[in-house]
Structure 1
């Protein structure tokens, strides 16, 4: 063991003899530990919230959307064949989008209509896994009354259960000499889904593409666009560029999930950075306590420092002793913070004992996801602040003159 580390450890364990200095050092350890634990839990929640929100958005919406400039995509089967050839594309499905009105039992509610192809949508959307009652196969069945799948909150609002009928009004249903006139069609509830996002559960309905084409007055070869799923959600820019090259000559627009939700995820990223800075202030408070501890220790150990320097210890060695001691206090606090923060985050992730109102937040529980990079960054930031706190006291200790310190001994 090196001389400087040996003396630093002796001084550290000798702090208990001086109750006042030991109390200050205990506060320093606690400050660092609380700051590190808070950073671990809060950043874990921010990561979980962002990833959970991303997964829910990418479950209801595809990773990429291809739409026509005129609003209607014609001869879409040829475009589907070309899109499936692009490397990285794992699924393609056509969709029809519109806004409609639903009425049942005297209640009326506006909704977003999504026409889907039940066969190809399974590999692109999360709808089959979100259905809690009924089945997506109901959209495949041909019956006198077409079937509809709607969200839990919307079904609750209209008082609907499986097997009930609901009137659906489309503002652009029939084309006449005077233009498009509204069309009302009766649908039977064939499924109820729950995504966990109130906005989707309260306003989204699904019907088959054939029923949507008839309702909207589309020809059978017209859809609103194509939804595309890829194997890597973070590689959508490159896949989008390849897809654009493949579809060159077609009057289509290609957008990915990052472009469509740029403001939302930018805000979440900014909020995460702000929370890191704010909570790092707790660690900074702990590092100030380290400065106080070391300054008082230098004053107490003036005679010992002078004796060591008289025996040949260099100023550099004296400086290193106090830097090591402050760093050790920071290391103990950081380790304690990890031992507190990680178990709390894991318990919060497993039991989800903090519930959120689903009509206020996009999710109804507090998600947690710890990231290795964040854990390392927290430890590095905490240790860096603690190390910087040792520089001033250590420099002052190294400036002591043995003759002046021992004059009155």
Structure 2
């Protein structure tokens, strides 16, 4: 064992007269541990929320959407065939997208009406998996109220859970769908209205989707909106969701004008940018906790240097170089930082991987609801530990601890033996 390491470890052990220094050492170690622990937990929660949000976005929307700059797409079957041949594209489905109004009794709400191909939509989106009532296949056949033979069959409509709550609708209820793009009469534009029957209710977990989306079959949307055999665009599913930018650029090159492709990151760049920025800011803010602990390490080393002045002078008189003296105190500070980082990593991983049961116990003991599933529209508290984040946090904490040791260690290395022993 190098004597610098041996002496550095000895200086960590408190003598009776240096108990105060050991208390500061413990506080510094705890400060590093708390900082690392807080960073791991917060970043795990933010990563969990980010991944959960991405899953919901990609569950409702396609990875890539192909649109036409001059209006609707005709001959979309041939275009779908060309798109499927592009490397990375797994599946494709046509869709129609238009704004309409739903009216039920005295309740009215503006929604986005989507026409979907019942056969191919499950290959691209998770609409069928998010249904809590009904089935996607019920959109294809006219819907009729059970045990009501005199009630005429009407085309099916699937709506979100929040929209159903706002309009007080249930499966089997009739709702009026009103399109502003109606018929032109001598009195002007007359909105087109048609009755649909609610055949399903979906729940994506995102209020924006669950309160503003309605789905009908593709032929029914074409007939109601007067689009003929055209669609708004084509939705694509790709093999790698993080390669959508490259695949979209490839589509724009191969398919060309008047068609253009947009990936899910472009369509949701504002919220994704906000999440990344918030995560970075939280990392910087919580790193300040480790910086505060680093000042404690520096203070500890300054006091150790003052206490060990005689020892340093003797070591230098015996031939120890300034570099060796500096190593002794750097090692002592690094041990504090590494030990605190290790405790923080273990504590952070323990809490981050068991966050939901911990929150449940705290809510049960205190009686306060820390995480309301009704407010956040999440059925669980998301927490995801990323190994690269843990590694970055650990390296950052150790590096800050190392930097905190440099100045007091340098001061110790400059100590003159004659000056140190003059007053002893």
Question: TM-score with structure 1 length normalisation?
Answer: 0.94
The corresponding residue for 1:287 is 294
- Paired with 1:178 and 1:329, the residues of 2 have a C-alpha distance of 84
Q: Which residue matches 1:27? A: 27
List aligned pairs for 1:185-196, cutoff 5 A.
Answer: 185-196=194-205
Structure 1 position 180, deviation (Å):
5.2
Question: How far has the Cα of 1:47 moved from its partner?
Answer: 1.4
The 8 Å contact of residues 66 and 261 in structure 2, kept in 1 or not, is answered as yes
Match of residue 284, structure 2, among 271, 277, 285: 277
Instruction: Report how far residue 50 of structure 1 moved.
Output: 1.6
Query: Contact conserved, 1:25 with 1:329, CA < 8 A, in 2?
Result: yes
Deviation at 1:183, TM superposition (A): 1.4
1:149 is aligned to: 158
Selected match of 1:257 from 232, 252, 264 = 264
Q: Does the 8 Å contact 2:140/2:156 carry over to 1?
A: no
Q: Tell me, yes or no, if the aligned pair for 2:97 and 2:114 is still in contact at 8 Å.
A: yes
Task: Confirm or deny: 8 A CA contact 2:91 2:238 kept in the other structure.
Answer: yes
Aligned to 1:210: 219
Quickly say closer, same or farther: Cα 1:350–1:135, change in 2 above 3 A.
farther
Q: Which residue of 2 aligns with 1:304?
A: 311
Of the structure 1 ranges 144-153 and 363-372, higher mean CA displacement relative to structure 2 is found in 363-372
User: Distance between the aligned counterparts of 1:127 and 1:407, measured in 2?
Assistant: 83
Shift of 1:139: 1.4
Distance across 2 between alignment mates of 1:336 and 1:34? 9
Count matched residues: 406
What's the C-alpha RMSD, in Å, of the aligned pairs? 1.9
What's the CA shift string for 1:300-329, capped at 9, x where partnerless? 111111122222211111100000000000
Please name the residue that 2:181 is paired with.
172
Name structure 1 gaps, 5 residues minimum.
none
Work out the CA distance in 1 between the residues paired with 2:141 and 2:17.
Answer: 82
CA contact (8 A) 2:158 2:216 kept: yes
Q: Are 1:356 and 1:365, in contact at CA under 8 Å, matched by a contact in 2?
A: no
User: 1:246 Cα shift?
Assistant: 3.1
Note the C-alpha offset of 1:178. Answer: 7.3
- Contact 1:16/1:22, CA 8 A, preserved across alignment: no
- Cα pair 2:97 2:232 within 8 Å, conserved: yes
Is contact 1:356–1:364 with CA below 8 Å preserved after alignment?
no
Q: C-alpha offsets along residues 259-291 of structure 1, whole Å, 9 cap, x if unaligned?
A: 112222122111111111111000000000001
Inter-CA distance 339–390: structure 2 relative to 1 (3 Å threshold): same
Distance 1:136 1:251 in 2: 32
Asked whether 1:59 is paired with 2:74, we answer no
Aligned to 1:380: 395
SS in 1 for 2:353: helix
TM-score (norm 2): 0.91
